[in-house]
Amino acid sequence: MFGRMKREGFGLGVSKNKLANMMLDALSQLPPGTTNLKDCVVANLGLIGQMCTTRDINEAWNQAKGMAANEYPERFILDGRKVLHWNDGSVKVLDRSITTANYKKLNELAESVGCSVNELISRLIRNYRKGIK
């Protein structure tokens, strides 16, 4: 029914920002530990969630995830792949920042040894662990 209505030109007229704010409100009301956050939020939107296009929902969801992580850092956390998780301590955000100078040094060292940077770092970690024990 809703698909036919959309094809016939009946739209909601809801902006993506408004949709993202509605999603943020729904996220803030979810109990901790809820799984499938996106599905729960879209279900809580009701008729608006059913009438919106998938593209609008996905764009609003991406925006709402960032807003949730910024406004409720005690409840939500975004990992390195921009996936929203509950901030219960089970998810560690990986530090992916490396300075340009250190990146160049790693590449030069890997080239001089004759391996890739990934292999070089694996060797360094292995040798470091051997030294600790």
Read off the pLDDT of residues 86-101 as tens digits, 9 standing for 90 and up. Answer: 998 877 776 678 888 9
In a domain, 91, yes or no: no
More confident: 33 or 89 = 33
In this structure, the number of other CB atoms found within 10 A of the CB of residue 22 comes to: 19
Task: Report the alpha-carbon angle 21-46-36, nearest 5.
Answer: 75
Q: What value does the mean pLDDT take over residues 14-37?
A: 93
79 and 113 in a single domain? The answer is no
pLDDT of residue 43: 94
CA 32 – CA 43 distance, rounded (Å): 17
pLDDT of residue 112: 93
Close Cβ partners of 28 (under 8 Å, ≥ 6 residues apart): 68, 72, 75
Q: For residues 64 and 131, give the distance between their C-alpha atoms in angstroms, rounded to a whole number.
A: 45
Domains: count for the chain: 2
**Quick check: is 34 in a domain?**
yes
Does position 11 have pLDDT exceeding 70, yes or no?
no
Residue 9 has pLDDT above 70, yes or no: no
pLDDT in tens, 36-84: 999 999 999 988 888 888 899 999 999 999 999 999 999 999 987 889 9
CA distance 127 to 88: 33
Indicate if 17 and 77 belong to the same structural domain: yes
